[in-house]
Chain A
């Protein structure tokens, strides 16, 4: 498969702001949050890659780095072979229409002062796409496609006048109006109601085929990831611990963290209640992450060697990689 995105040794550290007393105590040693810690992967054209993990695992930061909404501390992101860090701001602006994003909270992503139609038209205005006379038709057309119908009626509504599910569709339409090749969907359904979730998931699936797009789908819900993605990368504290095709990863998980996550997913079936206890503890701070394998303090199979060195991603065959010393 032809690669669209290639991520090489991506690192992002955020400085921690200290108060005056802490600075006096700690001297010059500035602590940093290791949000993304040497991550490499690629996404093929037309593929849906899921980025799964608990909050604080660095999945959203990775998404933003790929879109260059953040600049990496080190490492590179190649988009269609081009190193984004070396692309000039002006050229980046020209590339933006082709790479879009949908965030978690639709209400927070829409201006309350812009009508639905204005919000969806804005990317066309900014990038000077289409003739001004053609824009409205294009917007109405797309609105119908994402299920915002009757489009001429909803076109004039403000975000507070439409439902939460419709708001999320507006955000999706706004991202798609520039006909992107690549879409980062950052927990697009986390805030939605059960029935709305299913609708949004189906919509994303249909649109992907129709517009032949590539997705990076960020989620904490493995059941959703399984439903939408072709391949899944599991992140823990800034690192990818396992990556593989969805069938492989769910049937034969290698990394103990992936196993723990899979075991914890609630199954909507009372006859399949989980009988074993789950892994204890919570994701540690990314300021002083545990040494060696980040998961070792919670890992039921941890050995002394696990705290010594970072285990590399090992090939398990068929594009399935796992970063555990026990494999």
Chain B
């Protein structure tokens, strides 16, 4: 959030290009309903890189899928809105959603080997995508577009005739990015884009993403549990736990002045090569059962600073003066 809520001074802020409003996603299973995402509201502004962090099972990937209406059965979006340039994706006709995937919002998944077809050459992946969206583009124009984009990403255009297995892991990941970018979307959702990459290749990927962001005026949603990666890319960070937003703020606020004990715990348990650490702070316990989430705050059973109130009443997500949002009883007043 970039707004200032100081008295009398209301700054005009740009319209977000993507607004998620009070989104709830359920997975009905035999023993009940998994409340995968609960009351999540997030705004994404033009040109911004938003990091979505949390441990496995916190609902971050489900949320990413929901933005393109890709939540798989039996999961379903129970309530809420997802506005892309002011229009609700969840109410769009099927054909429009299909056009939006790729041309408006593109998705880059974590494992390129399972996302690329081993029987198709690299160029055929691109042709398929282009012709799906723009059937009247000539094949030779489509190939030229592909070659230009690949050169931009540092891949020799000769590699277009290769099959996925002939490329290295880093190159496959760049192909995935290129496939996302080919239809010129304004938002890229990257779900754990570097988990299969080595550290040097990962750093190269960060450089590439930051460069592409400027060049193609992209907004990025980076979904990851890798806090180092988020620190290098994101302007703003949303911390999720048990399907809910615990805290949201600029990267600087989240890493240097976290409010929520979960945010602080998450950051303190990562080894930092830049600092000499005698001991890591650890968080005991495990993430909550989302069929029967704990009463009150979902983090309260593991929270080192839990108050009595935390187990009884659920804290609301409040907006504070510095623009951050947090849901914690330690900060009950908006200040």
Contacts and interface: CB of A to CB of B under 8 A. Distances in A.
A266 to B, nearest CB: 3
Contacts of B162: none
Interface of A: 54-55, 163, 165, 193-195, 197-199, 201-202, 220-224, 226-227, 250, 260-274, 277-280, 282-283
A223 B280 CA distance: 12
Nearest to A285: B168
Nearest to B226: A266
11 contacts: A194-B225, A194-B270, A195-B266, A199-B283, A222-B199, A223-B270, A270-B232, A270-B234, A270-B252, A278-B200, A278-B203
B238 to A, nearest CB: 15
A318 B204 CA distance: 33
Interface string B55-84: 110000000000000000000000000000
B271 A223 contact: yes
Contacts of B198: 54-55, 220, 282-283
B269 A197 contact: yes
Contacts of B282: 195, 198-199, 202
B98 interface: no
B273 A223 contact: yes
Interface in B250-291: 251-252, 255-256, 265-267, 269-274, 277, 279-284, 286
A270 to B, nearest CB: 4
B97 interface: no
Given A198-B280, A201-B280, A227-B280, A278 B270 contact: no
Interface string B155-174: 00000000000001111000
A54 B274 contact: no
A195 B281 CA distance: 9
A265 B198 CA distance: 10
Contacts of A273: 231-232
Contacts of A165: 286
A226 B271 contact: yes
Contacts of A282: 168-171, 198, 200-201
Interface of B: 55-56, 168-171, 198-204, 206-207, 225-229, 231-232, 234, 251-252, 255-256, 265-267, 269-274, 277, 279-284, 286
A282 to B, nearest CB: 5
Contact of B271 (A201, A264, A271, A272): A201
Given A195-B282, A202-B279, A280-B204, A266 B269 contact: no
B199 A261 contact: yes
Contacts of B171: 282
A193 B56 contact: yes
Given A220-B198, A221-B199, A198 B283 contact: yes
A260 B202 CA distance: 12
B228 A266 contact: yes
Nearest to B199: A264
B273 A226 contact: yes
> For A269, A274, A279, which residue has the most chain B Cβ atoms within 10 angstroms?
A269
B55 A195 contact: yes
Contact of B231 (A54, A266, A283): A266
Given A198-B271, A278-B204, 13 more contacts: A54-B201, A194-B227, A195-B266, A195-B282, A227-B280, A260-B200, A264-B199, A266-B202, A266-B203, A270-B256, A274-B206, A282-B169, A282-B201
Contacts of A193: 55-56, 225
Nearest to A257: B200
A265 B199 contact: yes
A195 B204 contact: no
> For A201, A223, A268, A271, which residue has the most chain B Cβ atoms within 10 angstroms?
A268
Nearest to A162: B286
A227 B277 contact: yes
Contact of B203 (A197, A221, A226, A264): A264
Contacts of A266: 202-203, 206, 226, 228-229, 231-232
Given A165-B286, A267-B273, A269-B255, A202 B203 contact: no
Contacts of B274: 267, 269, 272
A263 B282 CA distance: 27
Nearest to A163: B286
B177 to A, nearest CB: 16
B271 A224 contact: yes
A63 B229 CA distance: 29
A290 to B, nearest CB: 15
Nearest to B229: A266
> For A195, A263, A278, which residue has the most chain B Cβ atoms within 10 angstroms?
A195
